[in-house]
Each structure stands twice: as structure tokens, then as C-alpha cells.
Amino acid sequence: MKIALVCPYDFAYPGGVVNHVTALEKQLSLMGHDVRVIAPASHDIGLFNGRFIRIGRPSPLPTSGTVVRISISLRLAGQIKETLAREKFDIIHLHEPFMIMLCSAMLRFSKTVNVGTFHAAGGRPGYNLGWPVSRIVLRRRARKLAGRIAVSETALKYAGKYVKGPYAVIPNGIELGHFSPGVAPIETLRDGKLNILFVGRLEARKGLEYLIKAFATVKESCPEARLVIVGPGTRLRQRYEAMVSKLGLDDVVFVGPVSHDELPRYYQTADVFCAPATGGESFGIVLLEAMALGKPIVASGIEGYASVMTDGQEGILVRPRDIRELSQALLRLLGDEALRRQMGSRGSVTVQRYSWAVVAEKVAAYYQKVIGGISSSPEAKAAMANDNPSAETASTLKPARAGA
């Protein structure tokens, strides 16, 4: 099949959806499909051996406790139409299909089979910014989706409020060959201290504020502990650094952004991985990355994380924003090496079901299922080709449900 993977976010900037599309492209290509990635980019990227199609230049937009980097240009139509006419895709797979401007416009002009993956959970961007201005336009575009994928039950609940119809729940994946326990640690951080690792953008909803405060309690009982903070972000970094200074904390290392190649080495360096997000996470890809390296986890017990790990098995789940619970869980693991090994081993087993090789097979099988359904339905064919009210079909009006 000739497949377009469409991402609305700046492909030159790391993020969950960008990483998802990158890994999916790799696996689908290995399976023999002809894949193109279409996205805005703030600068040229040397990915995909010329199979990256750059449409739009992104602008940063603060929203819902994060910053989305999307193209807001109203002049994408010509390039989109030319690309669709030239490439003649068999299937167009849109990630956050209603995010302005690229995905929504691509869906409007597409006359082929369209599948959308919904990544976001409540409070996440992609819906408050992404819904077309009028409900009528939203309903027209939604009819052009022949297939709907949610990355988790949490994402399905959120997307299903806006886009009705059957969904397949296909999770995010992880490159087990890349996040391998055989990688070398960061030697400068292997000096006998116990490393607590945080990986994520420096945004309020990632919960770093609560981890820093919990770390102050941890240091009182475990002076050999160190907090290693990996991830991009400048807006809140000064605030977090000031918090560290005010609390008089030693052994807090702000690494900043690291490359995809370097990231597994930081997981390898960790004794405990901590994900204290306060909400808005539809999945827990960072939890899978930690599991792949055999690391025990302390994470907020939010829906997206609880869908990936089980409390007491791969790690410990705590109430979001609960500094006392967070510090106690960290101290429990830091003080018990056998428990760390036990939970890390369980995570190494759990993560196998999320291998990208497995996930991509499920996505490709879903493509075939959707294409087969359209081939047998004249109404569905009409819906793909039209962006008007008369294209409405009964199948798009079914209530959302999981695991379809």
C-alpha cells in the first residue's frame, strides 16, 4: 500500500506524536509498504530518505498547560491538493485528524481512504484548538473518516465525545531494539549515587514541581539520592531551578533536551524512573521506555499511566500532586534494591506486548479491514469523496465504543 502518515506537529521538535509517527513509518516501510510522512517543520530534517513532505511552518501556541507547535497558515490548500494529486495514496492516516490546519485541511481535500488516530486525553491540545469552527463542518469532516484508532481507552473516552463511531484501540509502541538494556549508562552519573530520573517536557502538567518538592523529603532520609531531569523547555526551567535553590537542594541535574540516540543511556543510568504527571496523559510511553530498560517506576495513578502499568507490579502508582505519597514511594524503592530488581524484571516482560513490530502489524491489519469495508459499501465511498452534508452515513452516527 502507498500510505501517508500525517502529523500536525512540528516534525523538527521531539514529542509523543512525532515519535509515534517516526516509529510507525519505520515499521510499515520494513513491512514493504510505500510510506510518506507529511508534517510541518521549523527547519529541514534529514529523515525518511527523501520521503518526508514538508507542508507548513509551525508556530508555538500555548494551550492547556502545554505548547503546541503547529502550522496556522490559511494557505496550505494548494500544496495539499498538489501533493494528493501527485502521490495518489491508497490510505491517508491522520494523527489528531481535526487539529488545525494541516490535518483538518488534508481530511477536507482527501478523496481516498482516511484513518484517524486520536492521541489526546481530556485537557490535551488537538480538540480545544482542533475542532473546526462550526459543528456542521466538524460533522462533515468526521464522515470522511473511514477508520478511527484510539491509543488507549482514555483517549477513546475523550475522542468519542466529539467523533462518534466504532473505534479500534491500538496502543503506542516502543522500539525495543533502541531502548535496550544493553546500552551504556552515562558514566558521569554512575558514581555511587542513587539516580531518580524524570523524562519529559518542562511543563506544568508533567508534575515536575511535585517531584522536586518530594525530592526535598527524599534527601533528608536518603542523602545519596540524586534527581536527573531530562527534557526540553525553557519557560518553566528558571522557575524549577529557583525552586531547587530555595529548597537548598543538592544533586539536582537539569540535563535539558537529549537526542533520541542518547535517551536510552539516561534510562540505563537510572535506579528509579518517576513520572509525576498531574493529568492529561492518554498513554504512558515514557513508562514503556523505562520498562524496556528494566527500571522500576513511580508514577501518578492517572488513567493513561494505569493503562500501561499495574500498581505493585512494574512499579508504584501514587495520587497525583500528593507530595507525601510520592516521596514515600521513592524512598521505598531507593531503600530496597531487591524490590527494584523485581519490579524492573516485571516491566521487562510487560513491555514486550508494546513492541512496534507488534503494534505496526495491528495498524496494517486495521488498514486492510477499513479498505475492505469501504469496497463493499457505496455509501462509504461517497463519504470519502465528499465534504458535504449529503455524504452522511448511518455507520458514522453510531455511538463510540471501545475495541471495535
Give the chain's residues under pLDDT 70. 64-65, 122-137, 376-404
Question: Between β-strands 147-150 and 194-199, what pairing exists: parallel, antiparallel or unpaired?
Answer: unpaired
Q: Are 135 and 143 in contact (CB under 8 A)?
A: no
Residue 403 lies in a domain: no
Reduced to 3 states (helix: H, G, I; strand: E, B; else coil), residue 158 is helix
278-309 burial code (b ≥16 CB/10 A, e <16): bbbbbbbbbbbbbbbbbbbbbbbebbbbbbbb
Distance CA 188, CA 212 (A): 22
Under 8 Å between Cβ of 6 and 92? yes
Reading the block at residue 284, the C-alpha cell is 504512558
| Partner residues linked to 253 by β-bridges | 228
Both 13 and 158 in a single domain?
Answer: yes
> How many CB atoms neighbour CB 321 within 10 A?
15
Q: How many domains does the chain have?
A: 2
- In a domain, residue 250? The reply is yes
- Say if residue 163 is in the same domain as residue 14: yes
- Could you give the C-alpha distances from 378 to 66, 143, 398, in angstroms and in order? 42, 14, 18
Q: Is residue 114 part of a domain?
A: yes
Which regions of 231-357 does DSSP assign to beta strands (E)? Answer: 252-256, 272-275, 297-300, 315-318
Q: Quick one: cell of 28?
A: 510499515
Three-class HEC string of 187-244? HHHCCCCEEEEEECCCCHHHCHHHHHHHHHHHHHHCCCEEEEEECCCCCCHHHHHHHH
State the CATH number of the domain containing residue 273. Answer: 3.40.50.2000
Instruction: Mark whether 121 and 258 lie in a shared domain.
Output: no
Considering the domain architecture, whether residues 73 and 165 belong to the same structural domain is answered as yes
Judge if 348 and 360 occupy the same domain: no
Q: Which of 175, 201, 168 is nearest to 25 (CA)?
A: 175
Q: Which of 215, 209, 351 is nearest to 286 (CA)?
A: 351
Dihedral of the CA atoms 79, 81, 87, 91 (nearest 10)? 120
Q: Does residue 178 sit within a domain?
A: no
User: What DSSP string runs through 70-127?
Assistant: E---S--HHHHHHHHHHH--SEEEEESTTSTTHHHHHHHH--SEEEEEE---TT-TTT
Q: Give yes or no: residues 259 and 303 share one domain.
A: yes
What pLDDT shows up at residue 383?
A: 63
Same domain, 159 and 211: no
Is 129 part of any domain? yes
By the 8 A CB rule, do 13 and 7 touch? no
Domain ranges, residue 84: 2-173+355-397
Does 287 fall in a domain?
yes
Q: Are residues 277 and 377 in the same domain?
A: no
Same domain membership, residue 119 and residue 216: no
Q: Could you read off the pLDDT of 315-363 as tens digits, one per residue?
A: 999 999 999 999 999 999 999 999 999 999 999 999 999 999 999 999 9
Query: Are 222 and 212 within one domain?
Result: yes
* pLDDT recorded at residue 199: 97
Give the chain's length. Answer: 404
Last-in-domain residue among 353, 368, 388: 353
User: How far apart (Å, rounded) are the C-alpha atoms in residues 254 and 83?
Assistant: 42
Distance from chain centroid for Cα 96: 11
- In a domain? residue 404: no
Cα distance between residue 358 and residue 78, in whole Å:
37
Beta bridge partners of 116: 94, 148
Residues 262 and 217 in one domain: yes
* Domain identity same for 349 and 382: no
Residue 279: what residue type?
G
Q: Which helix (H) or strand (E) holds 386?
A: none
Q: Which three cell numbers stand for residue 365?
A: 491489519
